[in-house]
Structure 1
Amino acid sequence: MVKVHDFHQQIADLEIEINQLSDAAEQCRKSMIVARVATVVGILVFGAALLGLFRSDPIVLVISIAATLAGLGYYGSSRGSLEQITGKIRTYEARRAEMIDGMDPQTVQDHQ
């Protein structure tokens, strides 16, 4: 028979892991914003250079293309990581809920 204290510790460990994964998910979301900005800036600079809105040299075109491609790659990577992390969070939350239900908690009635 598993002791109640063991359940409490396992639940606490799951909650710590969920919090850490939530922090990692937030970092992925921030990374996705940075990636979007890099992509948009790269596209805008490249488009403006092609339209002749400013005098550009080949290095500007190369940098704008690189920013666009890097932004797209970074966005995809961050999105994939976010999906994996949110999957783990759902799994851990389900496990935590099962453990709490398995403890058969009883309500405490207020006696007056």
Structure 2
Amino acid sequence: MDEDDPSDEISRIEARLEELAEVAERCRKITLVSKAAIAAGAGLMLVTMLGLLGSNQVGALGSIAAVLGGIVSLGSNASTLRQTMAAISEAEALRSDLIGRIDLRVVGDETRKRI
């Protein structure tokens, strides 16, 4: 194969795009779980403050931990998702550039010339 043939590089970029898409999907799932943890922690804190479950220090600490853990996880995954989406955009741009370099032939033109 020619060194100028970008098909191998396009294949590597396609594989990388698939990996990045999986990372992005995982980040979205973790973000959803983080938001649920924040909501559950806030709800438990409200219930504890209203005294509906009694004055329970463990419940209060658990709710605070859930809220803080959810916030940290949400922030971390939001950052990772932004970086992953930027990497996907760069890879797609590179792939488009490589595809644009390929000298494509229209199959129908050759058939018409032979007839």
Q: If the length of structure 1 is used for normalisation, what is the TM-score?
A: 0.92
The structure with the larger Rg is 2
Number of the residue aligned with 1:38: 37
Compute the displacement of 1:57 (Å): 1.3
In the TM superposition, structure 1's runs of 4+ consecutive aligned residues that sit over 4 Å from their partners are none
Counterpart amino acid of 1:8?
A: S
- Cα RMSD after superposing both structures: 1.5
Number of the residue aligned with 2:60: 61
Counterpart amino acid of 2:36?
A: V
Counterpart amino acid of 1:27?
A: R
**1:68-105 deviation per Cα after TM superposition (whole angstroms, max 9, x unaligned):** 00001100100100000000000000000000001132
Structure 1 unaligned blocks of 5 or more: none
> Percent of pairs identical after alignment?
30
Number of the residue aligned with 1:23: 22
Residue 13 (structure 1) aligned with residue 8 (structure 2): no
Structure 2 unaligned blocks of 5 or more: none
Counterpart amino acid of 1:68?
A: V
Q: If the length of structure 2 is used for normalisation, what is the TM-score?
A: 0.90
Compute the displacement of 1:106 (Å): 2.3
